A and B are shown apart, each in its own frame.
Chain A
């Protein structure tokens, strides 16, 4: 590096904490106003009854046997579902990111579809499949915890595949090759070389999946036949039905404590990869006989996803007189249970998703930047870890608490925002934010800085160095994160349904409405609209896959 460059570096070194603070300011402020404030507002209502501070009442709630049951079921179901998602997702990540076979991208995109479908749709599809008169009714799964687990895995396996797959794809192949050359069998290579390198990505994926499972709402109620209650469903009942804010606050605090604990554990497991390691990613190869187990796991996941979706497609095509497209043709007509034609709702969904996506990418990108800068000293590293976990929190807090919190805390200037049109995309962006952060952090942390130094010493200016070094590494994950966020926003229902909206409902809201009214036409249209949503999502994800230029990664 030149002398001038070195001086500049020293100068920047001084202002470094300030620069980091500036980068963290925007996401911090957004999270403060739209998350911390509303949630603490609701929790405070529970702690202060009739104007008097009454923590004893809250503590009393935690002693109820029902609360213990609810907590146990939440932890049990989320842990089991996460374990299954990882066990199936890991081999699938290998098969879909390290093997080369026809239709690989299509399968990858297809597996991501469930993740973004609204639960109300998936619930109906699953129950048609597993219910008493469904094709799999004989298994007797309907209303059991196994159905809940299947539903949770259905939703979340894609998170494991995407997160771990991205890491696996960029993995240096030489240590594994060296181990193999030294006589280690494939399993031993995997266990001693590959797995430890993938651990950060796995921990990352598992923590996200756990949070999604622990806060899932529709799956537990719909597939469990009301026999099981999780912390999330309990908070919903207490807040929207019984208005027992004290008990709701107790459970919310419990939820936050558990989530924070989990985030701390997962942050410890998850190390940001050392950027100074040079990598030589392996080219995907054709499947060999030894890849059969991985392909089998992929096929199993594909079947789990295809089953309910096939039910949806079949249902949407079944009309009064045999099979046809009548339900699809009805989608652009107003009338019946609908405020607006489904096509209008689709347009609203797309617009909202664009807003949610840029918000999530902007905030998530900044957070990822701050989190991945190399820390000086333990205190700074710990601070970054906390910051990282802080932005994961929205995943672990009930949407109901947040929604009611908006109403009571954002109701006066300067924060008179509860009726703002931006609230819906913002809420969706908060939901997608952890996804973006978790996608970007491993990648940004893994950028080898010596490449930039090499570019600089060869005379490239900062802009050129960004174009030739950073962009090729970052643009794909950035697009993937954007696609993720976009798709998640398209299918988001919990927060959207809760927020007051004008006459412009999103597609999932319209589907919910259609499915909630009698009449074969309404039901058929709900399924048709769900298929459109699923196809759109698959299309978005396929597009993201297509953008992968083959020459990238060939160095």
Chain B
């Protein structure tokens, strides 16, 4: 007897049925949405960006109508992986224009020659404040900024009758033991910004500060949402720690019923992150890419930034939403580290930081 042969036949029939059946099912799901792109063949602008990119639909639609370009957004990962992707694909870029490179990663991308020079013709007043020192707006155009600051739950401190901390030095005092939570520098971009803030403040002595910070019960989490939403007393999960690393805009989102904010940002602890846009070298549609950079600096987009991306505009005199105007205070003199210094030392700093914080 050769039973195997029949088995093989039947299983092959099964396989064929399987392929056919499943293949036909796919008809209802595959390839949706490609038709719209076909109409704009040759006028497409591909924007490479990070996962937080978002602009109101009406604004984008209006821009597409006015310029005749169709915007294709390829958004994924954070600012770090965005930069590294651009570096890896610089010989054959995945798009025409990029948004979302920040001042902590910009010099790596600039050194690698990822961008083609472009400066918008009439930049609004105030933008120059955010130019990268060496680049001075030749290739990278500032679009938005937000500062990473230590935030405190003011209601918690009022209830306990403890004075609210104000400086980085305060965080290592016994009075604030076990009260601080921050995302880690290795896994989170605000966490990295906080590490840079301490480096700006303490220089060579930053490892000593971190040893004391951890010794004083500072808690580390993977990302911002973990620290803010789970461990912070004013976060969604109502945690146990009243001091958290967050942004200068965060107090606008913790409003009590009487309209006052229950949290405050400590303005002496801030590190400013600026996000840039640039035209990619080797872009298929450089003209469209330039128009998109212009668009990002337009008064409409600048005004929409706070509510769509939770960041401040770079153009001076842009009106802010009411809650922001009242509760989101920006630092006047944030701590800073030169971009090229960050690029040269990031690896060493992160390694040393990891050794200090990993047990």
Interface residues of A (CB under 8 A from B): 1, 5-6, 8-10, 12-13, 16, 19, 23, 45, 120, 123-124, 127-128, 131-133, 137, 143, 218, 221-222, 225-229, 233, 237, 239-244, 315, 334, 336-339, 351-352, 354-355, 357-358, 361-362, 365-366, 369, 373-374, 404, 407-408, 411-412, 418-419, 421-422, 444, 447, 449-450, 452-453, 456, 462-463, 465-466, 469-471, 474, 478, 497-504, 509, 512-513, 515-520, 522-524, 526-527
Contact = CB atoms under 8 A, between A and B. Distances in A.
Contacts of B127: none
A225 B220 contact: yes
Nearest to B86: A407
Given A243-B108, A365-B15, A132 B6 contact: no
Contacts of A362: 18-19, 22-23
A465 B354 CA distance: 63
B5 A13 contact: yes
A505 B347 CA distance: 32
A531 B98 CA distance: 35
A465 B8 CA distance: 12
16 contacts: A6-B2, A10-B5, A127-B237, A237-B186, A237-B350, A240-B84, A241-B346, A337-B310, A338-B54, A351-B32, A365-B14, A456-B6, A502-B33, A502-B74, A504-B33, A519-B253
Nearest to A474: B14
B271 interface: no
A352 B15 CA distance: 23
B3 A452 contact: yes
Interface string B227-247: 011110001111111000011
A498 B33 contact: no
What are the nearest 8 A-B pairs in CB distance?
Answer: A523-B236, A9-B5, A358-B22, A9-B2, A500-B74, A240-B81, A133-B240, A518-B253
B231 A132 contact: yes
Contacts of A453: 1, 3, 6
A470 B186 contact: no
A178 B225 CA distance: 58
Contacts of B250: 518
B222 A449 contact: no
Nearest to A356: B29
Nearest to A334: B57
A462 B10 contact: yes
Contact of A355 (B15, B30, B87): B30
Contacts of B7: 373, 447, 449, 452
B342 to A, nearest CB: 12
B80 interface: yes
Contacts of B215: none
A243 B74 contact: no
B62 interface: no
Contacts of B288: none
A516 B230 contact: no
Interface in B206-236: 219-226, 228-231, 235-236
A516 B253 CA distance: 13
Contacts of A499: 76
A466 B26 contact: no
A500 B74 CA distance: 5
B54 to A, nearest CB: 5
A500 B359 contact: no
Given A315-B236, A502-B73, A373 B230 contact: no
Contacts of A419: 74, 94
B167 interface: no
Interface residues of B, number: 87
Contact of B347 (A16, A242, A338, A407): A242
B14 A462 contact: no
A421 B51 contact: no
B25 interface: yes
B260 interface: no
A373 B226 contact: no
B92 interface: yes
A243 B18 contact: no
Nearest to B31: A421
B43 interface: no
Contacts of B84: 239-241, 243, 404
Nearest to B219: A225
Nearest to B359: A227
Contact of A407 (B89, B225, B357): B89
A227 B358 contact: yes
* Residue with the greatest number of chain A CB neighbours at <10 A, chosen from B76, B85, B226: B226
Contacts of A1: 1-2
B228 A518 contact: yes
A398 to B, nearest CB: 13
Contacts of B241: 132
B51 A513 contact: yes
* Residue with the greatest number of chain B CB neighbours at <10 A, chosen from A354, A450, A456: A354
B88 interface: yes
Nearest to B189: A241
Contacts of A357: 22
B76 A501 contact: yes
Nearest to B53: A339
Contact of A12 (B5, B52, B89): B5
Given A241-B80, A502-B33, A133 B226 contact: no
B187 interface: yes
A339 B10 CA distance: 48
A272 to B, nearest CB: 13
Nearest to A239: B84
B14 A241 contact: no
B76 A497 contact: yes
Nearest to A513: B51
A465 B6 contact: yes
B67 interface: no
B8 A354 contact: no
Contacts of A241: 80-81, 84, 186, 346, 350
B4 A373 contact: yes
A407 B76 contact: no
Contacts of A239: 81, 84
A354 B29 CA distance: 7
Given A354-B26, A463-B13, A518-B254, A9 B221 contact: no
B240 A465 contact: no
* Residue with the greatest number of chain A CB neighbours at <10 A, chosen from B34, B77, B246: B77
B78 interface: yes
Contact of B11 (A237, A404, A470, A519): A470
A13 B14 CA distance: 19
Given A221-B187, A466-B13, A470-B11, A450 B3 contact: yes
Given A8-B5, A465-B6, A466-B13, A124 B26 contact: no
B168 interface: no
B92 to A, nearest CB: 5
Given A355-B29, A407-B88, A419-B94, A10 B14 contact: no
Given A452-B7, A466-B10, A500-B76, A523 B235 contact: yes
* Residue with the greatest number of chain B CB neighbours at <10 A, chosen from A16, A133, A470, A512: A133
A123 B221 CA distance: 11
A404 B74 CA distance: 14
A349 to B, nearest CB: 11
A497 B92 CA distance: 22
A131 B230 contact: yes
Given A225-B220, A226-B184, A239-B84, A361 B22 contact: yes
Given A131-B240, A373-B8, A226 B220 contact: yes
